[in-house]
Each structure stands twice: as structure tokens, then as C-alpha cells.
Structure 1
Amino acid sequence: MPVLLWLVALLLPLHAARADDTAAEVFRQLPEEIQNRILDETSKARQECSMASLRRAHYDCNCVAEAFKQARTLGGPQPPYHELYSGAFEKRCIDREAVTKLYESQCMQQNSVKLQAGARDYCACYGEKTAERFLDKPYFSNEYRGLVHREVSKACDWNRYLAAVLARQEKQKPQAAPPAAPSGVGATPYPWEWLSLGMPPEEVERNLLAAGLKVRFNRKHCFDRKYCDREYIGALPGTKYTRIRLTVRKRWITGLNMEISYPPSARAEVEKRLGSSISDAMLKPAEGQSEAKAPYCNAKRTTCYNIPDPTTPAESPRMLYRHFGLGKDKAGRWGRLSYRINAAAYLLSELGLTAQ
């Protein structure tokens, strides 16, 4: 009977409401029993909204409850509760200020450390633009929210703020102390005098860095790998250009590939240094060295073949040999110097020195 009375009571009010009356006027004309039922459902809608944290953070629950009340008043008792409740989350009930603050706060929590001083400006932009997108399309799916996050991050230029922080951090880094100078003869223009295959790779690198060269490709923990190939570039004192390639296998140096450009005036000194690097003892065949690969040098000892490397361990199964060659490059200029290290029957590395 109460439902029948509500339907009868709504006939005239609904006609008037469609013209110019408001839902409030319609509600006042309903029987008290119907009003109380509507108010109970309205209270239920407000409570459900308040208990749903995600919806509560985006909507004004009082507005949602009022929208539900209007829909029930004008729609009568037939529409199911859940249908009217879902429809009550209208755009006009979105709390833009709360949404802006919500996403600004979340942004600060995630980026205050990463973006430092720039976080506040970035997050203010992020909160405002995220609220704009939610007002346009109030969707809650994870996929859509991820899309909004990516688009807003790009619109607010997250990368620019991060780049500024990284630049400041780079400037604030303490300058590393220069490496200690190479032991012995020091960083002369003749690296074969202060580098050897018998050195630990770390020592070779320390000497090269101390001499002013820089690592071209710096792989972390390279020497601890099964195979490591490292290149150092720059200009040693007295040279025009220096490039040294270090090859390491299982922490054992198997190759030194050097390319050095000297001024023409250095020719006599380079020849002298090359010749003095080969001792008489090095011209004697090593144990097991065949006659076909007997040690040989020219008169100045600037060109040598099959010279046993004195730094090679005696117990090493792979005997290393040196080869120096001094001549002209392809352009006919003096000073093409090549250096090879052979192990058994195959080439491990080579290095070329040029004077221009």
C-alpha cells in the first residue's frame, strides 16, 4: 500500500517537476513514510561513499548522497538501489581541490628525494593536470590511471627536473684524488719501458691513468670477468696521440695494443729506446723454442722477431714473443712501428706506433 500511495502521489509532482519544479519540491509533496524511506537510502549511500577510500578521495560524499536523493525522488521506487548509487557519482560531485591535493601529495612522497628542490613545482603541476584528466574522464581502472600518470609526467616535464638534480649532484661530487704516479721510470713517452705483460692488470691501469690517459669504455669489474678488453686514450708527455688497448683473459694480460704518434724529431730517441729494450739475453732461444722461430733483430734492434718476453712465467704453457717493426706507414711517412705478442701458433694482440 505505501508503494501504491507513492506512485499516486508522484503523478502530479512529476508532471510539475518536468516543467519547472525541483526535486526538493517533489520531495516535500511525498508522504512522510516515503520521505523517510528515501532519507534512509540517502544515508546509506553517504555511508557507503565515505567507506570507499578511493571514491571518498575523489568525490564529495554529501554531494553524492544528494544526487542519490534526487534520483530516487524523481525516479520513484522502481530503480534498484545499486543502479541509483552508481549513477550518483556525477562529475559535479568531484572534489577538484581534494583530487589535486591527493595527487600532489602522492607525487611528493614518491619524488621528494629524486627531484629534491624541484619536487614541489613538479608535483603542483602533476596534481593539477591529474585532476583535470579525472574531471574529463572519472575512471578508476589501473590501466587508465597508468596512462594518465605517463601523460601527465611528460606534460609536467619530469625528465627536466630529474636532469637538473643529476647536474647538481655531479657538481657536488668530491673530486677524486689523482692516481699515484707510475713506479720506476715514470710516464715517459715510451710505455714499453714501464708496462709489461707480467704486471697485474690493475697496476697497468693505475700507471696509464696516472700518466694522463683516460678509459674509453669503462666496464665495471672488467678485470674480474673471464675476458676483458679495455682501451685508454690521450697523449703521453712527448707524444701527439696515444691509444693503448689492454686485453685480459682470466686476470692474465694477453695483449698490449699500442698506437702512439710521435713528432718527427723524436725518431732518433725512439730508435734508441727500442734498441735498448732488447737485451742480449733476450736474443737467446727460450726452452722449447724451435729453430724456425729463433729470436732475431736487425742491427739497431728496432725490428725484432720471436723475442721471448722476460715477464712471461717460466711455468706458463703459452710462451709469449715480442715483435717490433719500424718503417714507413701507408702514406710513406717515417715511423710505422708495430708490436705483436704471439702465443704458440696464434696472434693474441698487436700494437702500432706512428710518428707524424
Structure 2
Amino acid sequence: MTEQNENRRRLDILLAAPRGFCAGVDRAIQIVEQALERHGAPIYVRHEIVHNKFVVDSLRAKGAIFVDELDEVPANAHVVFSAHGVPKSVPEDAQNRGLAYFDATCPLVSKVHRQAERQVEAGRHILFVGHKGHPEVIGTFGQVASGAMTLVETEEDAEKVEVADPENLAFLTQTTLSVDDTAEIVATLQRRFPAIVGPKGEDICYATSNRQAAVKAIAGRCDLVIVIGAPNSSNSLRLVEVAERAGTPARLVQRAEEIDFNWLDGVTTLGITAGASAPEVLVRQFISRISERFEVREDQVVTAEESITFKLPRELAAAADPA
């Protein structure tokens, strides 16, 4: 065994930090866990609570039942809405059916919802920068009347979009977008519509920005970047794009078992990060798998410290407090 270890090729790993869970994801998972503890299984969850199969499977094992729509939830049950946010019609439907619900919408997404309402109340049409079909986009559009918002996905869209009243216009963005791509789209909108009103602060959340900055910091030093995250996770996909934009090949994987060791041919320095919905245990499992074949040396590159936490809903906070 000693001889085999000595013959293993060395592989340097640069771990991006921050990586993995953000405060909104952590809060959403706690909401499901505390609802289970307080009310017992089953607790129904509308859509994936966060975009990560490991997390969803772990909660399912504890008694969570994931459904696509509320009509799959039986009467008098408890239901949790996902971290991505939902249209106003969803809690209204839950109330009409007498369902007890907990809203796990990330507070930073809720902030965008409130901004959308305020801009429409001020008489402005909203150009919303985001990805069609993403749950967060669907939820945000569902905060205002139909026709009050127009989706802008690309810089080309920003060049072509037509509005009825350029003097009464606002823009908002999905929280999990590419910082660089969004800046270009917003710049185009501001050039075309000088009177357009933007949010007071960036809509792209701190965790998305921090994880992209961390990948930028390591990508130039790596031969390959691995992003641990789900294929339907917007922020994870953006991390792949950030690495590739820096000129470094990148791969998205969900679990350690998905690694193809052929990817590591010729790789001497490997970058690793994780999307905001991916727990650290998946990172450790991935590195453990690689260590079976390589002599691994880890180095963590820290570009920001995160200390943000979000409070649980009042009705669950007491259950979570051991005091």
C-alpha cells in the first residue's frame, strides 16, 4: 500500500471560498426540518426546497414529501414554499384550501418582490433581467399584474426590447445571475433608456457575487475547475461560466460518483467550488474520491468572509431555540 501511495501523481487543489450553502439556503432547509420536528411527518414541500438532489433526498428521508403543485397536498396538511419564491396566487390558494404553510422564500428574493410591487405602484413598467422558466422569475412575475413586467434574458434582448413609455421604466434582476453578464445587460438598458430606474442596491445576492469572485480568483491558476452543484441550479451554472470566461475549462457535477478521471489527464492544479445549494459534505466526498487516485494537496483561497444569517419564521423560531 505504501508503494502504491508513493506512485500516485500529485494533484494540487485550490478550494474557492466562499463556496456552498448561503444563508437563504440554510434557512430554507431549517424551515423544513423545524416544521417536521414541530408538526411531524409528512411535511409537504412545493417544488424542490433548493436545487440540490442530495438536500432534497435527505429531507425526503426525514419525512418531507415534494410536490409540483398545491393540488397534490391533502387537506389540513402543512406545506413549505421553496427558497426561490412563489407567485402571490400560491399562498392565496393555500389559504383558500385551509392549508397551513411556511414560506421559505429567501429574504433577498422577497426584497426583489417588494421592489417589483413598489415600482408598479409608482406607475413604472419593469424590465426584469433573468432566465425564462426559472422558479425565481416565475415567482417574481407573480407579484404584479400580468403585463407589468417584461423579461430580458440577454444583451441582444436589451437592444431589441420595446417599451410604451421610456420615461416610466424600471429594471430588476434575478438574484442568481452572472455579475458580469448582468452588468452588460443593465448598461445596455441604461444607454437605451436613460430615465430607467434601478434598485438602490444590487439585486444579485451577496452569495452569488462572492462565489463568482472566488472562482475568478482561482480560475487563472487552475487547469480545470469543478463546480459541485445541480444542473438546474442557476448560481452553479453561472460558476461554470465564470471559470470558462477566465479561460479555464470547467465541469458541473452533482456527486463524487460522477467524476470522470479522464478529465484529470494533464491536470496539475484543480479548482473546486460549490453552488449555494450544495452542502460542504459533497465537497469533502469529492476530494476523498480524488484522493483515492492522487496525492492531494489542498489550499483554500479565501476572497470574502460571510457571516449573514436569516431569521426563521416566527412560528418556527421558538421550536428551533433550545432555550
Answer yes or no: same fold by TM over 0.5. no
What is the TM-score with the length of structure 1 in the denominator? 0.20
RCO higher in structure (CA 8 A, sep ≥6): 2
Q: Larger Rg: 1 or 2?
A: 1
Q: Which has the higher helix share?
A: 1
